[in-house]
């Protein structure tokens, strides 16, 4: 029965019972971590062939004859671009490969707007006020980049169809200090939703007051399906071309959660104008990317079929973990009216909303019982969840047995925090 419908006495009894359960769990002195969306060791094993690939190679040229051991090819190997092109549906001619991190490329896109400006507009560093739109809950590291540059971040509510497009359109129409928006359009971090066709169409058709407005389209989970009925995302690049808004879009992806986080290959896709700007910026920074890493990824993955085959291996490891979390939430708090959560078809996260004012308390209770979760508030700009209700679960890293223990603690903590609140 929903906690809200219980009498004070009934709730007090439940509270006493939960406290005893919690103390028992605490006495186990657990040390478990489900704070960050990292692949598990078993997943990393799947890509060990990347490390073998170059040893088997007698020479180091790509198909253009460039020696990958040497400087040059600032925008990356054509074979690796082709793989990304098939992953994100943008022609290889519009893709630039980076090094080991797409977040780093996002940082550089913002950094360039800050130092030099886009589309002939004033560099952002010379303007009094810069604002950026942040769909919430969202990815903490996105918010960290715009906080680092001192931009004012504006929360945009997320719905099952994506961010609140009415609000976005109304805000950007007249305010030219709003310079962009962060988006994770597929299997969003952390809500797991994929933007609807209408949402993507509206993004491609945006007409902001700021001529240098940029959509940061972080397609980090483009091939990270966990079910037989995966979500599909409309191709925003094609739609931008049709609307003449292609200078507004930067699309990002990487192999971080395909091969190795921190040792994969990252990519950016955008318009010719933006590529020209980015080339100048990049070639001032570096004489070229790590092409040997790109080459060994090409030799290991071969093509998009290789990517999909590898992702099936990831799914086999990840899917039972997501299922376990969903099952335990359903069984333990499903009908109590104190928590809601998503059931994503892919990606890396489960987003749980507990009673308003309880998220910090749940995370604290878990921590004191030896289970580390992502900090409450981390999914909001400045770490401030106005409702103190959202918690991001990252089930990928712990083995199943540890995950089960961690979820047991988490479910008791949700109930205990809710009972505390209702009895207060
Ligand atoms: N974008 C999103 C939405 C993520 O969740 C993550 C990692 O968790 C990243 C980017 C990091 O990507 P990369 O390793 O390519 O920098």
For the whole model, what pTM was predicted? Answer: 0.97
Helices assigned H by DSSP within 163-303: 165-174, 197-204, 236-243, 272-285, 291-301
* 407 CA → ligand 1 middle, Å: 24
- Categorize the per-residue pLDDT at 322 as very low, low, confident or very high, splitting at 50, 70 and 90: very high
Least confident piece of the model among 34-43, 53-62, 143-152: 53-62
Kindly report, residue by residue over 237-283, the tens digit of the pLDDT.
999 999 999 999 999 999 999 999 999 999 999 999 999 999 999 99
Residue 55: its pLDDT value, please?
78
* Rama region for 277: left / alpha / beta (φ>0; ψ in -120 to 50; rest): alpha
- Categorize the per-residue pLDDT at 36 as very low, low, confident or very high, splitting at 50, 70 and 90: confident
Residue 25 has pLDDT above 70, yes or no: yes
Residue 56 has pLDDT above 90, yes or no: no
* 383 CA → ligand 1 middle, Å: 18
Residue 58: its pLDDT value, please?
64
- DSSP-derived letter for residue 67 is B
Q: How many whole angstroms separate alpha carbon 39 and alpha carbon 30? A: 21
- Categorize the per-residue pLDDT at 60 as very low, low, confident or very high, splitting at 50, 70 and 90: confident
- Categorize the per-residue pLDDT at 63 as very low, low, confident or very high, splitting at 50, 70 and 90: confident
Residue 328: its pLDDT value, please?
98
Q: How far is CA 33 from CA 342, 371, 393, in A?
A: 21, 6, 10
Residue 66: its pLDDT value, please?
87
- Categorize the per-residue pLDDT at 57 as very low, low, confident or very high, splitting at 50, 70 and 90: low
* 421 CA → ligand 1 middle, Å: 35
C-alpha angle with apex 333: 330 to 339, nearest 5 degrees?
Answer: 100
Domains (ranges, CATH) in the chain?
3-43+308-423 (3.90.1150.10), 61-302 (3.40.640.10)
Which numbered atom of ligand 1 lies nearest the CA of 262?
Answer: 14
Establish whether residue 184 lines the binding site of ligand 1, counting it when its CB lies within 6 angstroms of any ligand atom. Answer: yes
Q: Tell me the pLDDT of the chain averaged across its residues.
A: 96
Task: For the chain, report the end-to-end CA distance as a whole number of angstroms.
Answer: 20
* 18 CA → ligand 1 middle, Å: 37
Q: Whose CA is nearest to atom 5 of ligand 1?
A: 189
Give the Cβ contact number of residue 121 at 10 Å.
17
Percentage with pLDDT > 70 across the chain: 99
Sheet strands side by side (includes 339-341): 339-341, 350-354, 390-393
Kindly report, residue by residue over 149-206, the tens digit of the pLDDT.
999 999 999 999 999 999 999 999 999 999 999 999 999 999 999 999 999 999 999 9
For the segment 209-238, the average pLDDT, to the nearest whole number, is 98
* 102 CA → ligand 1 middle, Å: 7
Backbone angles phi, psi at 372, to 5 degrees: -90, 125
Kindly report, residue by residue over 76-96, the tens digit of the pLDDT.
999 999 999 999 999 999 999
Q: Whose CA is nearest to atom 2 of ligand 1?
A: 220
For the segment 339-347, the average pLDDT, to the nearest whole number, is 97
Which numbered atom of ligand 1 lies nearest the CA of 37?
Answer: 8
Residue 86: its pLDDT value, please?
98
């Amino acid at each position: 029965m929903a906690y809200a419908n219980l009498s004070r006495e009934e709730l007090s009894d439940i509270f006493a019972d939960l406290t005893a359960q919690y103390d028992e769990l605490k006495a186990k002195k657990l040390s478990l971590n489900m704070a960050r969306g990292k692949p598990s060791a078993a997943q990393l094993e799947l890509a060990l062939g990347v490390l073998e690939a170059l040893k088997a190679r007698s020479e180091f040229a790509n198909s253009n004859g460039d020696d990958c051991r040497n400087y040059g090819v600032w925008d990356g190997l054509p074979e690796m671009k082709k793989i990304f092109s098939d992953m994100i549906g943008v022609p290889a001619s519009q893709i630039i490969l980076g090094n080991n991190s797409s977040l780093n490329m996002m940082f550089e896109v913002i950094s360039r707007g800050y130092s030099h400006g886009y589309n002939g507009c004033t560099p952002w560093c010379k303007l009094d006020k810069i604002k950026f739109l942040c769909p919430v809950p969202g990815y903490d590291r996105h918010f960290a980049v715009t906080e680092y540059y001192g931009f004012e971040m504006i929360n945009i509510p997320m719905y099952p169809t994506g961010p609140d497009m009415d609000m976005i359109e109304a805000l950007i129409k007249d305010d030219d200090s709003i310079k962009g928006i962060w988006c994770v359009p597929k299997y969003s971090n952390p809500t797991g939703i994929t933007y609807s066709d209408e949402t993507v169409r509206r993004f491609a058709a945006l007409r902001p007051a700021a001529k240098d407005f940029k959509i940061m389209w972080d397609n980090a989970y483009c091939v990270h399906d966990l079910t037989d009925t995966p979500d599909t995302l409309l191709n925003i690049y094609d739609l931008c071309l049709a609307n003449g808004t292609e200078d507004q879009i930067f699309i990002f992806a990487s192999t971080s959660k395909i091969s190795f986080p921190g040792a994969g290959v990252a990519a950016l896709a955008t318009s010719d104008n933006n590529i020209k700007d980015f080339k100048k910026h990049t070639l001032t920074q570096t004489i070229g990317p790590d092409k040997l890493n790109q080459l060994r990824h090409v030799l290991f993955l071969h093509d998009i079929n290789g990517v999909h085959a590898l992702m099936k291996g990831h799914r086999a490891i990840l899917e039972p973990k997501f299922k376990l979390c969903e099952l335990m939430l359903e069984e333990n708090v499903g009908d109590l009216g104190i928590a809601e959560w998503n059931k994503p078809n892919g990606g890396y996260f489960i987003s749980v909303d507990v009673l308003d004012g309880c998220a910090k308390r749940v995370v604290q209770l878990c921590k004191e019982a030896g289970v580390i979760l992502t900090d409450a508030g981390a999914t909001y700009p400045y770490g401030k969840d106005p409702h103190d209700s959202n918690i991001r679960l990252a089930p990928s890293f712990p083995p199943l047995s540890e995950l089960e223990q961690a979820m047991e603690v988490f479910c008791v903590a949700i109930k205990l925090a809710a009972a505390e609140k209702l009895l207060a």
